[in-house]
Amino acid sequence: MNENKHVTSTGWVDPNDAPELTDEFFEIADEYIGEKLVRRGRPRKVEPKQPVSIRLSNEVVKYFRATGKGWQTRIDEVLKEWIAARSSV
């Protein structure tokens, strides 16, 4: 039998013998409002970033990768600045 699956015993019937509801129980429990499951975590962004494939010169990629983690975000910021500089005309 698969050890990863949680097995629920069907032998329990006495409501006075119910397990104590601990904080841990509520932390892992699914929360519903009516029939709808309430999703946990960060809410979805109104305008999420779009994954794209773009061809950049080696020089550009090497430069931004050398700046460390978040290098793709920095490319995005530079492109937004470029747009802003041309939109104000």
pLDDT single digits (tens) 65-80 = 999 999 999 999 999 9
Q: Please indicate, yes or no, if residue 23 is contained in any of the structural domains.
A: no
Query: Is the model more confident about 61 or about 11?
Result: 61
Give the DSSP H or E segment for 64.
Answer: helix 58-66
Domain count, the chain: 1
Q: Is residue 82 part of a domain?
A: yes
Is residue 80 assigned to a domain?
Answer: yes
Which tokens sit at 55? Answer: 């061809």
**Does residue 77 lie in a domain region?**
yes
Percentage of the chain beyond pLDDT 70 is 85
Domain annotation covers residue 69? yes
Q: 11 in a domain, yes or no?
A: no
Domain that holds residue 82: 58-87
